[in-house]
């Protein structure tokens, strides 16, 4: 099985983070299940670190107070995010799904993925994971969930 960090994150999200159950198994049990599912230890460890960093960045949102911001992408972000992905980020922010602070968390987590180029699907999933991890983002999460799972255009909501 050719997997990467993103594949492990999607597996974890679909099986644990987005489930109705509140109980997530401990790391040893979860690691065992991921190994049985065909993932390798290095990718599993990277996924746990990625998720831990996501929860640490929850406080990033309190640093931004301005109602509107102007974002210039860094050279690394430009190299890894194509124009369609950057456009989607701006669209999600303009449509109220992403706030400026959450946009920054999304960009931080995208840059932490182990891929040279970030696909549009990876971007959508990372946005979904970030919104899921943030308090009081239920409406934005639901709108993004429809966009990711059902491919409903966001502008219809």
Which residues, other chains included, contact 135 with Cβ-Cβ below 8 Å and sequence gap of 6+? 58
Residue recorded with tokens 């860094």: 74
Residues 28-78: tens digit of each pLDDT: 888 999 999 899 999 999 999 998 888 775 444 445 545 566 789 999 999
CA proximity to 116, closest of 86, 87, 76: 76
Cα-based distances in Å from 12 to 83, 98, 153: 29, 22, 25
CB 43 within 8 A of CB 6: no
Which residues, other chains included, contact 78 with Cβ-Cβ below 8 Å and sequence gap of 6+? 86
Residue recorded with tokens 């599993």: 44
* Distance (Å, whole) CA 113 – CA 7: 11
The per-residue pLDDT for 1 is 42
Q: Is the pLDDT of residue 146 over 90?
A: no
Averaged confidence pLDDT in the chain: 83
């Amino acid at each position: 099985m050719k997997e990467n960090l993103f594949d492990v994150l999607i597996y974890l999200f679909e099986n644990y983070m987005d489930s109705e159950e509140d109980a997530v198994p401990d790391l040893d049990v979860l690691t065992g299940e991921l190994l049985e599912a065909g993932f390798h230890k290095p990718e599993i460890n990277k996924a746990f670190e990625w998720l831990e960093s996501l929860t640490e960045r929850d406080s990033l949102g309190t640093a931004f107070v301005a109602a509107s911001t102007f974002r210039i992408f860094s050279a690394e972000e430009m190299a890894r995010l194509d124009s369609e992905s950057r456009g989607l980020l701006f669209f999600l922010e303009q449509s109220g799904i992403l706030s400026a602070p959450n946009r920054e968390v999304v960009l931080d987590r995208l840059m932490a993925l182990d891929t040279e180029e970030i696909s549009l699907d990876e971007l959508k999933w990372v946005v979904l994971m970030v919104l899921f991890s943030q308090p009081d983002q239920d409406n934005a999460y639901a709108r993004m969930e429809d966009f990711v799972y059902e491919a409903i255009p966001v502008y219809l909501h």
